[in-house]
Amino acid sequence: MANTNAPFGFRQYSGNGSAPTYEQVAVQIAYNASNIFFGDPVEPDGTGTVVRGDGTTGAGGIAGIFVGCKYLSVSQKRTVWSNYWPGSDVASSQVVEGYIVNDPNAKFLVQVGTTGLTQAEVNSNIGYDIGTGNTANGLSGAFVTESSLATTSTLPFRVISLVTQPPGAPGTEAGAYNLVIVAFNNVSTKSLTSV
């Protein structure tokens, strides 16, 4: 059965911490930044805050993977805990506290784009596309892009393995939209490495 095109961002697979937090750290989200979905890579923006990654990560790397936030909602008049940041709904004087996973040993489950990866591409560095997030459930639409595979040390992720078990499960078939396990390659808490 062919894999389904249904990206869900970067889902925590393992890390130094334990479920459900996996060593989350708090960060500040840029005021009125674009929305950030659960599982989106986030980047530092040069002012001490983070913004949703755009898939063109350069030498600055990414800050981590977004897993939620809390903020004082203008519309609801209360503190809101959410798995995604809607991009507004706070007064300009308020701080949006985001939570990210930036553990340098973390591994993530993620879908591949239209071509899919093969075993020969394990241990390559890879980039991502931000995709389209889902405002109904707050989940990311990010996925890794096979066209970005390279030895370039500034790419944000490294392919660790293909997902093949259990056989026949969604994403385990070879070809387009298969699933892989990736680790950070270029994150603020880890030195850059080349292939």
- 139-173 confidence digits (pLDDT tens): 999 999 988 888 778 889 999 999 888 887 777 88
Residue with token string 């993620």: 110
3-class secondary-structure state, position 29: strand
Q: What is the DSSP letter of 166?
A: S
* All residues at 6 or more sequence positions from 1 whose CB lies less than 8 Å from its CB, including other chains: 168, 173
**pLDDT tens per residue, range 50-107:** 989 887 765 668 899 999 999 999 999 999 999 999 988 888 878 889 999 998 889 9
